[in-house]
Structures are given as C-alpha cells and as structure tokens.
Amino acid sequence: MIWRGTNCLPKYSWRWGKIKILLLDDHKILGQSIKVLLEEQEGVEMCTYISRPEDLDANLKNAYDILLLDINLRGEKTGLEMIGGILEKFPDQKIVILTSYDLENYRQRAFEYGAKDFINKSIEIGDMMERLRKVHEGKTQKKAVEIVNELSPREVEVLTELVKGDSKKEIAEKLHISERTLYNHIASIYEKFGVKNIVEAYNSGMEKGYINPYANKKEH
C-alpha cells in the first residue's frame, strides 16, 4: 500500500500543469484508497478510479495525462499484456505500472511494451508524485537492466507446466516434445536459475516474474 510518509511533501512548480490520472485496479478497496490519497496531492488535478478493464477505452477518450495500471487484473489479460493494445488505440497515452509485484522480469517487460515507469505500491506518496511528475514532463525513467540468463519461450512453457504438478511424460506429450528434450529443458532452467529442484525453480521463477502468482486464482 502507498504510504503518506512522515516528511512534508516537496513543493513543485508543476510547470506542465497538474496531472489528470486514470487508475485501473480491480481491488476496489485498495483502488479507492489510492484515488483518495492521490487527490490529496497538490500536483493532481483529478484521479478517476475504475475497477473493470472493459471500462478503460471509454475513459481514456477523456484525455488523461497518466494511466496507472495494475498488473494483476481479473480477465483474460494482465496489465502488462494490455499495454500494447492501449498504445495502438491511444499512442500518446503515458502508462505507468503500479503493482505489488516488483519483479525484474515484469519490470523489463513493462518497459519493453511501452510503459513510462514501473512503481511498487509500497512507495511513499512523495516519492510517487516525484516519479509521476517526471513522467508527466516527458522524462524517461531508466529502464531495467537486461536480465542475464533469460529463459527461452520454450523453457518458460516447460516451467509453467512443471509447477502444475503433471508428470514428465504428460508434460512432454502436451508440449509435443520427447522426454529427453524435456529433461534437457529442465536441466537448462535449473542451470540458469542456479537451483537443484522444482521447488527452488518455482521460487526463482516467482521472483523473476516468469510465474504469475495469480494464474490459477479467480478471486481476490
């Protein structure tokens, strides 16, 4: 959750004008709390909160300066997966990811897809306003460092199936590969993650953002 902090907020000139923010977060209590907190800030003209992805397009037509987008959303797509479609329809829209999952792979993908910043929800409000001000003024946030030993698309598929608990034979059949090839992929995953078993691989995959913690979660 975003914190008010104990220090006085810095005073900015806001020479680009106050910010109009659209916030999409399907956790209603948290979303409403963030909206209230943002609207208390000197540099925010307004903050509109919506909880449903299907309401996004209609609201973006109202020309918001910044879209704050959560990653984990109920529906077919995550916030990360929505970025490309949003920018196709609204190419000038500035998008900032606001999430509780500050994972290196998520961060890298967010910048690759076109997000202007990636902010953890545990941030203090003064620091958040400074970040939003920079985005509003067109200053590009430093992108994430390239991930070393990144998994290949096939290895991501293998890891995703492994954590479901299916047998090696079942996974090989599902992915239309031989068991020997499957074991080679598993060995490569373990080597890249520096782990020795599936439990360690799962934990490492979570930390790096390869495994969606909400993939099988239908309710908050």
- The DSSP annotation for 116-144 comes to SEEEETTSBHHHHHHHHHHHHTTPPPPPP
195, burial (CB in 10 Å: exposed 0-12, middle 13-18, buried 19+) = middle
Residues 53 and 111 in one domain: yes
Domain C-terminal end among 74, 104, 136: 136
Range of the domain at 179: 153-208
Residues 125 and 178 in one domain: no
pLDDT tens digit sequence for 73-117: 887 888 999 999 999 999 999 999 998 877 777 888 899 999 999
Residues 26 and 81 in one domain: yes
pLDDT tens digit sequence for 44-69: 999 999 999 999 999 999 999 999 99
Please give the pLDDT value at position 151. 84
Domain at 165, CATH number = 1.10.10.10
Average pLDDT over residues 113-134: 92
Residue 214 lies in a domain: no
Three-class DSSP category at 150: coil
pLDDT tens digit sequence for 1-21: 665 554 444 444 555 679 999
Residues 112 and 203 in one domain: no
The total number of structural domains that make up the chain = 2
pLDDT tens digit sequence for 178-203: 999 999 899 999 988 888 998 888 88
Three-class DSSP category at 31: helix
Residue 60 lies in a domain: yes
Query: Does pLDDT of 158 surpass 90?
Result: yes
